[in-house]
Amino acid sequence: MAAPSEEIEIEETQEEIVPEIRPCKPARSNISDIKNKNKRKKLCIELKRKKRTEKIKEKKDRKKEAKRLGDDAPPKKQPHTIESLREKDETMVDDEDDELEQEEATDTFASYFSKSYVPKVLVTCSDNPHTVRSCVFIL
C-alpha cells in the first residue's frame, strides 16, 4: 500500500508546479504605436489629466505638510532656470567686486544711471503726420 500513496503525492505536486497560461494583451509602451487617431488622442488626454491630478495632489500634500510642520518644514524647491543651472566660471564678475564699483563710479554716464538729474529729451515728428495717433502720444 505504500507504493500507491507515493504516486498520488507525486501527481499532486506536479499539478501545483504547472502554471496556468492565460492570453494577455501586450502593454502599450508608447502612445504613438496606436494607429487610430481618435483613440490615440483620447489616451493622450487621459494621461495628461492623470499627470495633472497627481501633480495637484502632490502640491496639496506638500502644503499640508508645510503647514503641519510650521518652521520645521522643508524649504521650497528652487525652480530650474538658466541662471540657477549656470556653472560658475572664472571670467564671471561678482556683484561686490571693488574694481567693478570703481569703474562704474568713474564712468561718464554714471550720473545718468544713478538718476541724479532728469535727462533732456526732444521728441519730434514730421510736419504732416499721416496718423493722429503719432502726435497724440507725444502730448
- Residue 61 included in any domain: yes
Q: 34: Cβ–Cβ under 8 A, 6 or more apart, which residues?
A: 28, 40, 43
- Please tell me the least confidently modeled range out of 29-33, 46-50, 123-127: 123-127
Give pLDDT, residue 55: 96
Give pLDDT, residue 42: 94
The CA-atom distances, in angstroms, between 114 and each of 1, 50, 104, 106, 120 are 110, 52, 10, 12, 15
- How far apart are alpha carbons 29 and 48 in whole angstroms? 15
- For residue 28 the three cell numbers come to 502599450
Give pLDDT, residue 4: 54
Q: What is the pTM of this model?
A: 0.40
- Residue 107 included in any domain: no
Q: How many domains does the chain have?
A: 1
In this predicted model, which residue has the larger pLDDT, 2 or 84?
84
- For residue 73 the three cell numbers come to 518644514
Tell me which H or E stretch contains 52.
Answer: helix 37-69
| Spatial contact of 43 and 34, defined as CB atoms under 8 Å apart | yes
- Residue 48 included in any domain: yes
Give pLDDT, residue 18: 59
pLDDT, tens digit (0-9, with 9 covering 90-100), for 46-94: 999 999 999 999 999 999 998 999 888 888 888 899 988 888 888 877 7
In this predicted model, which residue has the larger pLDDT, 2 or 43?
43
- Residue 74 included in any domain: no
Exposure of 137 in the CB half-sphere (CA atoms within 13 A): 7
- Residue 46 lies in domain: 33-67
pLDDT, tens digit (0-9, with 9 covering 90-100), for 5-25: 555 555 555 556 656 666 666
Going through 9-134 in order, the beta strands assigned E by DSSP cover: none
* Residue 37 predicted with pLDDT over 70: yes
- Residue 59 included in any domain: yes
